[in-house]
Amino acid sequence: FSKALEYADAIKVKRVVLVGPKELREGQVVIRDMTTGRQEAVAREDLARVLKSVA
């Protein structure tokens, strides 16, 4: 994910959603706040709700 995160940072994206093999197996995604670096794993079905709550 490093190049994608570098690009997101360069264009000033506030949050990114990361999905790797582990997240796929576990039915989760990781939301990363690009300002603070804080990451939170959430269930895929909760993604829209969580993103709306932090908008």
pLDDT digits (tens, 9 = 90+) for 26-40: 999 999 999 999 999
53 has pLDDT over 80: yes
pLDDT of residue 23: 96
pTM of the model: 0.86
Tell me if the domain spanning 2-54 has CATH number 1.10.10.10.
Answer: no
Q: What tokens were used for 3?
A: 């190049």
Interatomic CA distance for residues 28 and 45, integer angstroms: 8
Which amino acid, one-letter code, is at 4? A
Interatomic CA distance for residues 34 and 5, integer angstroms: 8
Q: What tokens were used for 51?
A: 């993103």
**Which residues have C-beta within 8 Å of that of residue 43, sequence separation ≥ 6?**
27, 28
pLDDT digits (tens, 9 = 90+) for 15-24: 999 999 999 9
Per DSSP, 14 falls in state S
